[in-house]
Amino acid sequence: MHLSEFEAGLRDAACLEPKFCPVCALSIPDLLPDESPALVALQTQNHELWDLCMRNPSAPRVPDEETELRRRLQCNIDSCAHGRLAHGALLERWAFEHITDPLIMLRAVLCLCLSSCLYGLDPSTDYEESTVLSRAKNPRKRFRSSTGAWPTTPDQLFPYGAAQTLEALVHGCHSDDDDGCWWVLNAVMQLARPRVLPALLADKNIHTMLCSACILVVSHGTYLKIGMRVRSNGTAVSGEAALRDRPWLRSGRGLTIVAAFLQSVREGPYARPDDMYQFVAPAKLAMHQAAATPNQHDWRTIAQSLTPASAHVHEARNLVSDADVLASVARDPRAFAVVMVIRFALAALYSDKHCAGPACALTTLDADPARPPLPTCARCKLARYCSRDCQRADWASGHKRICRVLSALESVSPVSTSQRAYVLKIQNSSVPDEDLALVGRWAVSSSQYYRDMIRTEMAYPLLLDKARRQGGHSRAPLDPEAAS
């Protein structure tokens, strides 16, 4: 299939009159390999193609329109001149043999194309490993590519508004037997989090995403029992996540995208300390790894991110108070869990593109393009401010006490260092215990999520003893340090 034929077909698909075969369209992503001149040219010169790719899967269609579009796509497949052999080769090439719904096939193709653009080489830089998505980490370049690479405005990611786009992508994450919508949603989250997160935290979206994440994780051989409280009406939903027996899930792809998405929620650009806590708040999960897996890193990321929703954390809150957590930080500020939480808090401060001024909600996404995007504190290089007034207010409210220590910790080990290496460097550093305790108290005071991490480790011996006494009636909790 030619690219021009694909693009014209997408325009027709928006009008429910697709003129191309969605299976044959699987040849299009092969035309867009990373670093290819064709991809670079399309990123900068053909914004309409990417706009169409984003518009189609997020279009607000009623059930009758979806049924009609599905019927027409199936007719195009049945009447395609290339036949079953060509179709079979393409489906095998992308491991899509299990997808029988033509509408899901179309979404999968569009998500492959969008992933090629967003995760592919960024033509606006000379760095070999720089991608369009890596622009999300730089407030000056997020939508200001020097070569005009797509996307150049947040609105291109939300053709029908943030709420509709998120609802459509979340629906795809849950209903499609593929991880394409997950990767697109992960990219959109990193590029425009202030617009994405409020829509994602809507009751129906967060419930659907958590269920979908559970399905992808459990299909890799991990026991995951879920119980949820839907906040809008208080309805309880419980049961074990359903298993999907698919080769792409058994290979670990499900674990990989769930881990990547949860890490974006927890540590991505604009992330705030309690974002993960808000994301998993409706859930109560029992998580147990059923067997050894080659995807240990992904499993650890998932287990750590979902800690606030663990049934054992709910028990730990009855055993260890907030005052006990603060006392533990003061008593042993070099403990693994304390230093780990300090790193998480510093990473959140570094990635947070909000103004740090008390009660100020301005972000770099909202800042005036003609001005520098929220300069950082000259000393710690972490906190951002939109004005001198906000900086003075934050200095008086607490930044004055920790700025020096934050700078010292950064000189010992940057927050970009891997978690275990960071903890070891800080534990063996000459930073005084009283300084670590000061920053530790600041970290746990800023977030319920961080308090629960330390609380769970403190309660672990008690929970383990309880599990042993109950024998087979209770599973042992995850070791907090092993999940780190």
6 and 123 belong to one structural domain = yes
Which domain covers residue 356, as residue numbers?
319-458
Asked if the model's pLDDT at residue 477 lies above 80, the reply is no
According to the model, what pLDDT value does residue 390 have?
Answer: 92
Question: What's the mean pLDDT in 146-172?
Answer: 89
Instruction: Say yes or no: 137 and 232 in one domain.
Output: no
Which pLDDT score is estimated for 235?
44
pLDDT value at 1 more than 70: yes
Dihedral of CA atoms 248, 249, 255, 256 in degrees, nearest 10, equals: 10
- pLDDT of the residue at 236: 45
User: What is the spatial distance between Cα 80 and Cα 75, in angstroms, rounded to a whole number?
Assistant: 8
CA-CA distance, 214 to 210, in Å (whole number)? 6
Confidence band for 224, pLDDT divided at 50, 70 and 90: very low
- Report the b/e string of 291-305 with b at 16+ CB within 10 A: eeeebeebbbbbbbb
pLDDT above 90: percentage of residues in the chain: 34
In a domain, 239, yes or no: yes
pTM over 0.75? The answer is yes
pLDDT digits (tens, 9 = 90+) for 231-245: 334 444 444 444 556
Give the pLDDT confidence score for residue 31 in this predicted structure. 80
Q: Does 365 share its domain with 389?
A: yes
Instruction: Summarize the confidence of residues 116-132 as an average pLDDT.
Output: 66
Task: Please state, for a pLDDT cut of 70, what percent of the chain lies above it.
Answer: 79
Is the pLDDT confidence value at 27 over 50? yes
- Per-residue pLDDT tens for 248-283? 676 778 888 988 998 888 888 888 878 888 887 766
The structure tokens 């708040």 sit at: 281
Same domain, 151 and 184: yes
Band of the pLDDT at 339, cuts 50, 70, 90? very high
Share the mean pLDDT of the chain. 81
CA-based torsion, 223, 300, 245, 175: positive or negative: positive
pLDDT band at 292 (very low <50, low <70, confident <90, very high): very low
Residues 277-305 have a mean pLDDT of: 66
Last residue of a domain, one of 135, 169, 195: 195
Whether residues 189 and 237 fall in one domain: no
Domain match, 162 and 238 both: no
Check whether residue 190 and residue 205 sit in a common domain: no
Which two tokens mark 365?
């996404």
pLDDT value of residue 290: 43
205 and 296 share one domain: yes
Residue 114 clears pLDDT 80, i.e. is over it? yes
Q: What is the mean pLDDT of residues 123-148?
A: 65
In which residue are the tokens 């800690």 written? Answer: 307
The pLDDT tens digits for 52-89 are: 999 998 989 889 999 999 999 999 999 999 888 999 99
Residue 402 lies in a domain: yes
Over 70: is that where the pLDDT of 50 sits? yes
| The pLDDT of residue 223 is above 50 | no
* Within-domain flag for 467: no
Tokens 């419930």 belong to residue: 207
pLDDT at 222: 46
The whole-number pLDDT of residue 231 equals 39
Q: Which of 309, 339, 366 is where one domain is finished? A: 309
Whether 169 shows a pLDDT value over 90: the answer reads yes
Torsion of CA 443, 449, 454, 456, to 10 degrees: 180
Q: Classify residue 117: in a domain, yes or no.
A: yes
Angle 162-349-124 (CA atoms, 0-180°, nearest 5)? 60
Integer Cα distance of 150 and 379 in angstroms: 35
pLDDT digits (tens, 9 = 90+) for 403-458: 999 999 999 999 888 888 999 999 999 999 999 999 999 999 988 888 988 998 88
Asked if the structure places residue 234 within a domain, the reply is: yes
For the segment 383-388, the average pLDDT, to the nearest whole number, is 89
Looking at per-residue pLDDT, the higher value among 463 and 171 belongs to 171
Band of pLDDT at residue 369, cut at 50, 70 and 90: low
Domain final residue, candidates 167, 195, 223: 195
Stretch 313-341: mean pLDDT: 92
| Secondary structure string (H, E, C) spanning the chain | CCHHHHHHHHHHHHCCCCCCCCCHHHHCHHHCCCCCHHHHHHHHHCHHHHHHHHHCCCCCCCHHHHHHHHHHHHHHHHCCCCHHHHHHHHHHHCCCCCCCCHHHHHHHHHHHHHHHHHCCECCCCCCCCCECHHHHHCCCCCCCCCCCCCCCCHHHHCCCCHHHHHHHHHHHHHHCCCCHHHHHHHHHHHHCHHHHHHHHCCHHHHHHHHHHHHHHHHCCCEEEEEEEECCCCCCEEEEECCCCCCHHHHCCHHHHHHHHHHHHHHHCCCCCCCHHHHHHCCEEEEEEECCCCCCHHHHHHHHHHCHHHEHHHHHHHHHCCHHHHHHHHHHCCCCHHHHHHHHHHHHHHHHCCECCCCCCCCECCCCCCCCCCCCECCCCCCCECCCHHHHHHHHHHHHHHHHHHHHHHHHHCCCCCCHHHHHHHHHCCCCCHHHHHHHHHHHHHCCHHHHHHHHHHHHHHHHHHHHHHHHHHCCCCCCCCCCC
| Residues 364 and 404 grouped into a single domain | yes
Residues 143, 21 share a domain: yes
In a domain, 471, yes or no: no
Alpha-carbon Rg for the chain in angstroms: 24
Structure confidence at residue 225 (pLDDT): 46
Tokens 């979404």 locate to 107
Within a domain: 27: yes
- Asked whether residue 479 is assigned to any structural domain, the reply reads no
Are 289 and 324 members of one domain? Answer: no
> In this structure, what token pair is assigned to residue 78?
């049945």
Q: What is the mean pLDDT of residues 343-361?
A: 83
Tokens of 129: 């490993």
Query: Any idea which residue has 């693994």 for tokens?
Result: 336
Contact 341, 444 (CB under 8 A): yes
How far apart are alpha carbons 335 and 328 in whole angstroms? 9
Query: By CB neighbour count within 10 A (0-12 exposed, 13-18 middle, 19+ buried), where does 366 fall?
Result: middle
**Tally of domains within the chain:** 3
Contacts of 48 (CB under 8 A, 6+ apart): 7
| 319, pLDDT greater than 50 | yes
Same domain, 435 and 296: no
* pLDDT at residue number 148: 80
